[in-house]
């Protein structure tokens, strides 16, 4: 069965040239088979090839078809859950190691972009914006915690007055600016990483969904027209893994998230909105996030769907959220609107592990994966090669299955999210 093309989006319209890769139409043997050609899969492939393994990557659709090619593109320190939660889950020693990995992930992403000359519009700077006074107080405490407990000293706490020259809106009390975080064009980053893996020797098969898996000493993955026998198998499908490995699905939920892109505002008007070109995300649980594109559009995201049902008219549904922050854009047209799924865990911590001694996975980045996905690939490659200390820190994070089974877990999550939406209003 043929896979699907990239969904229509601003990212697809401005994607760098990429080859059409053939589907798997043969029986092959490799050291490692990777399922999923997003950021995690492409990074895993690159790192394994550089360690001397032969690698085949099976992608059901196109490289970067899932969240890796549709996301908000914000490359941020830390995790989707806060460090206090991680410390409660794994203790202070492991939580410190997890923090260090998150900062290493930022540096590693930049090194990949520089090393392989990936043209993905990388820009530094990210702001956590305070919608309410209690958010601003929380940001002040957060800055102190990260500085004293984790030695992260570059954060800048901004009040309404000092934020004003940077961000042309009255919507926020202030914010916490991190010059070390960044944003980028996620599809072009993924395409560049895939090209780097292929140039090193990996083979990526598109339109090649995994349909059946036989485990054992030599796992075998069967597609519609071929099969891969391997020594190690790696799952990198995240929210789009489907039903090929049901045990992984119980630990995550697909959540819809949506983005609009305005027409080009022109350089002067765009920079008047965000003078330093930082990315912004507010502090609500159901948050809004936005940034400028390289061609001076505003990319504005938010309005999550826990039912997996997208709004019927996405641009019309998203526009009021954008105008609440930037009412001066009332005359601006929306050129693109799109959405997709991210994979969340119950505790919002990433879910890494092994299903068997020779079967690895990384999933559940919970909307916080631009940097961590690349790092996950590096850590899984290290673990396969025999150096698993950092990978094993992630495997020690406990994860509960979502309650309700496949039929009732989505309604249960929707009820829980109603409480968080109400909390955002207080």
Q: Are 39 and 68 in contact (CB under 8 A)?
A: yes
pLDDT at 285: 79
> Does residue 236 have a pLDDT over 60?
yes
Query: What is d(CA 315, CA 295) in angstroms, rounded to the nearest whole number?
Result: 20
pLDDT band per the 50, 70, 90 thresholds, residue 410: low
349-375 pLDDT, tens digit each: 999 999 999 999 999 999 999 999 999
121-136 pLDDT, tens digit each: 999 999 999 999 999 9
Q: DSSP alpha helices (H): ranges in 77-212?
A: 83-90, 92-115, 133-150, 160-163, 186-200
Query: What is d(CA 28, CA 30) in angstroms, rounded to the nearest whole number?
Result: 7
pLDDT at 305: 75
Q: What CATH class has 10-70+187-252+347-404?
A: alpha beta
How far are the Cα atoms of 5, 87, 121, 302, 340 from residue 66, in angstroms, in the given order? 11, 31, 20, 17, 7
pLDDT band per the 50, 70, 90 thresholds, residue 2: low
Q: DSSP alpha helices (H): ranges in 266-384?
A: 267-273, 314-325, 370-384
Q: What share of the chain is helix, strand, coil (3-state, %, to 5)?
A: 40, 25, 35
How far are the Cα atoms of 42, 48, 117, 333, 381 from residue 51, in angstroms, in the given order? 14, 5, 21, 49, 8
pLDDT at 234: 98
Q: Which helix (H) or strand (E) holds 360?
A: strand 359-363
pTM of the model: 0.94
Query: What is d(CA 279, CA 343) in angstroms, rounded to the nearest whole number?
Result: 22
Q: Are 15 and 191 in contact (CB under 8 A)?
A: yes
> Does residue 422 have a pLDDT over 60?
no
Domain ranges (residues) in the chain: 10-70+187-252+347-404
- More confident site: 406 or 168: 168
147-197 pLDDT, tens digit each: 999 999 999 999 999 999 999 999 999 999 999 999 999 999 999 999 999
268-309 pLDDT, tens digit each: 999 999 999 999 999 997 899 999 999 999 999 987 777 666
Phi, psi of 132 (to 5 degrees): -130, 160
pLDDT band per the 50, 70, 90 thresholds, residue 415: very low
pLDDT at 308: 65
Residue 418: strand, helix, or coil = helix
Residue that has been written with the tokens 């992608």 in this structure: 59
């Amino acid at each position: 069965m043929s896979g699907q093309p990239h969904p229509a989006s601003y990212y697809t319209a401005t994607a760098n040239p990429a080859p059409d890769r053939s589907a798997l139409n043969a029986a092959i043997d490799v050291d490692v088979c990777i399922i999923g050609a997003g950021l995690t899969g492409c990074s895993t492939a690159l790192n394994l090839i550089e360690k001397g393994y032969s690698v085949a990557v099976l992608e059901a659709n196109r490289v970067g078809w899932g969240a890796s090619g549709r996301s908000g593109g914000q490359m941020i320190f830390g995790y989707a859950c806060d460090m206090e939660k991680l410390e409660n889950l794994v203790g202070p020693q492991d939580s410190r190691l997890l923090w260090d990995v998150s900062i290493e992930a930022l540096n590693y992403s930049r090194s990949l972009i520089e090393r392989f000359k990936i043209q993905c519009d990388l820009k530094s700077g990210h702001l956590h914006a305070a919608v309410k006074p209690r958010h601003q107080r929380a940001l002040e405490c957060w800055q102190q915690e990260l500085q004293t407990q984790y030695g992260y000293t570059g954060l800048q706490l901004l009040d309404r007055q000092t934020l004003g020259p940077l961000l042309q809106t009255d919507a926020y009390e202030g914010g916490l600016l991190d010059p070390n975080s960044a944003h980028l064009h996620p599809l072009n980053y993924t395409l560049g990483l895939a090209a780097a893996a292929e140039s090193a020797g990996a083979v990526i098969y598109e339109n090649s969904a995994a349909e059946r898996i036989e485990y054992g000493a030599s796992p075998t993955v069967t597609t519609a027209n071929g099969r891969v026998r391997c020594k190690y198998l790696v799952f990198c499908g995240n929210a789009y893994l489907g039903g090929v490995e049901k045990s992984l699905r119980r630990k995550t939920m697909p959540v819809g998230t949506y983005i609009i892109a305005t027409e080009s505002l022109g350089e002067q008007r765009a920079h008047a909105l965000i003078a330093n070109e930082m990315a912004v995300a507010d502090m609500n649980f159901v948050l809004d996030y936005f940034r400028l594109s390289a061609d001076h559009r505003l990319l504005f995201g938010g309005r999550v769907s826990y039912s997996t049902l997208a709004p019927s008219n996405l641009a019309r549904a998203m526009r009021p959220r954008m105008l609440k922050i930037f009412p001066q854009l009332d005359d601006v047209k929306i050129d693109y609107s799109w959405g997709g799924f991210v994979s969340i865990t119950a505790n919002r911590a990433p879910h890494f592990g092994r299903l068997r001694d020779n079967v690895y996975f990384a999933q559940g980045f919970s909307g916080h994966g631009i940097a961590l996905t690349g790092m996950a690939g590096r850590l899984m490659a290290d673990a396969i090669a025999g150096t698993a200390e950092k990978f094993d820190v992630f495997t020690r994070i406990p994860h509960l299955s979502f309650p309700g089974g496949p039929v009732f877990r989505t309604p249960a999550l929707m009820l829980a999210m109603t409480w968080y939406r109400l909390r955002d209003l207080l």
